[in-house]
């Protein structure tokens, strides 16, 4: 069984991106800039944002975090986003989710210029992705996609099952696999026989949020299994896949932690650089 080492693949990607930033700096005499807006002091968001800033600095991006208290007015955030949309030194804007209840998430997402939407959540980017056009792609499914391609460069004709249909993970993952000519089944909480669906799959991507939902006897021999789930349990962090059981049948599997997580941040940096490159065209 191949243990898909997300930490290592993410480190390699960051190294490539670092090199690319050097080349872009030589060519354009400027570097891509990422601005993260962080509202409130929720511990997980603070940690994510700190990691994003550290990684951005490591690859040589110009990075900035703008912090607001959780009492900030929605209008203040929307005005700040407009200001960043018009700032030529900023290539990517990310508003860390979740937001306080009084701030309309969709309004915030739609205020970010699609060309600077490094999370790929703007309806224009969602539409472009599903139409097969160039777009920013949400970072977590993009990371999953890059790992799958490392294991199997030619996905044409493969059967893929995506477990979970969130806008963040399941839906964009489905689009990426479709683009690679997979036959994709998207499953969710109302799916009648999830085990039977999974047993058909050459590739399974689980993004659900239920500890160890996908069992060993749900997985076809030699399938590639990507575990997006991050679940806190009494036994520590576990994914949506029963790792010990599935590792006995799968061809390749991501661990939790150390699989999808590190790739998510590396893909945010990739998206920032891609936004910069498109803006120079
Ligand atoms: P979500 O809650 O938005 O969506 C979960 C999806 O799972 C829904 O579409 C739902 O229909 C489906 N579902 C629920 N119960 C099911 C069942 N019994 N059978 C089949 N499908 C079922 O979650 P999300 O934001 O997509 O996140 C999913 C998981 O991924 C969470 O554990 C989250 O913490 C993790 N996550 C990890 C990363 C990372 O970087 N590794 C990033 C984002 C999310």
pLDDT of the residue at 281: 86
User: Once rounded to an integer, what is the mean pLDDT over residues 38-46?
Assistant: 94
The number of the ligand 1 atom at minimal distance from the alpha carbon of 143 is 40
Place of tokens 């601005």: 35
Instruction: State the pLDDT confidence band at 21, using cuts at 50, 70 and 90.
Output: very high
Ordered by where they begin, the domains of the chain are 30-114 (3.40.50.10860), 139-261 (3.40.50.720)
Instruction: State the pLDDT confidence band at 182, using cuts at 50, 70 and 90.
Output: very high
pLDDT of the residue at 213: 98
Residues framing ligand 1 (Cβ under 6 A): 140, 163-166, 168-170, 187-189, 191, 194, 207-210, 228-231, 260-261, 264
User: Once rounded to an integer, what is the mean pLDDT over residues 187-196?
Assistant: 98
Ligand 1 centre to CA of 103 (Å) is 23
User: Once rounded to an integer, what is the mean pLDDT over residues 200-223?
Assistant: 98
DSSP-derived letter for residue 143 is H
Say if CB 200 and CB 221 are below 8 A apart.
no
- Cα torsion at 198, 257, 141, 264 (round to 10°)? 180
Crossing angle of helices 43-58 and 260-280, rounded to 10°: 60
Q: What confidence tens digit (pLDDT) does each residue in 66-81 have?
A: 999 999 999 999 999 9
User: Once rounded to an integer, what is the mean pLDDT over residues 220-228?
Assistant: 98
Does the structure show a pLDDT above 90 at 39? Answer: yes
């Amino acid at each position: 069984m191949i243990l898909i080492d997300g930490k290592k693949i993410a480190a390699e990607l960051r190294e490539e991106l670092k090199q690319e930033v050097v080349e872009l700096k030589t060519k354009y005499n400027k570097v891509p800039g990422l601005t993260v807006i962080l509202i409130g002091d929720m511990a997980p968001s603070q940690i994510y944002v700190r990691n994003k800033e550290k990684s951005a600095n490591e690859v040589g991006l110009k990075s900035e975090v703008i912090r607001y208290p959780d009492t900030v007015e929605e209008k203040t955030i929307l005005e700040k986003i407009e200001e960043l949309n018009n700032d030529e030194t900023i290539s990517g804007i990310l508003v860390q989710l979740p937001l306080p209840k009084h701030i309309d998430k969709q309004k915030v997402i739609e205020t970010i210029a699609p060309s600077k939407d490094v999370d790929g959540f703007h309806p224009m980017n969602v539409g472009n992705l599903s139409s097969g056009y160039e777009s920013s792609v949400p970072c977590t499914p993009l990371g999953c996609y890059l790992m799958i391609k490392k294991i199997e460069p030619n996905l044409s004709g493969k059967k893929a099952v995506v477990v979970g249909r969130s806008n963040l993970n399941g839906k964009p993952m489905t689009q990426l696999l479709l683009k690679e000519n997979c036959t994709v089944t998207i499953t969710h909480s109302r799916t009648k026989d999830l085990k039977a669906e999974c047993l058909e799959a050459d590739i399974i991507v689980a993004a659900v949020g239920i500890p160890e939902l996908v069992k060993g006897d749900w997985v076809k021999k030699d399938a590639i299994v990507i575990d997006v789930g991050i679940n806190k349990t009494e036994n520590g962090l576990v994914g949506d896949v029963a790792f010990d059981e599935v590792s006995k049948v799968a061809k390749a599997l991501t661990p939790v932690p150390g699989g999808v997580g590190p790739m998510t941040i590396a893909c945010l940096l990739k998206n920032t650089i891609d936004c910069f490159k498109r803006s120079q065209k």
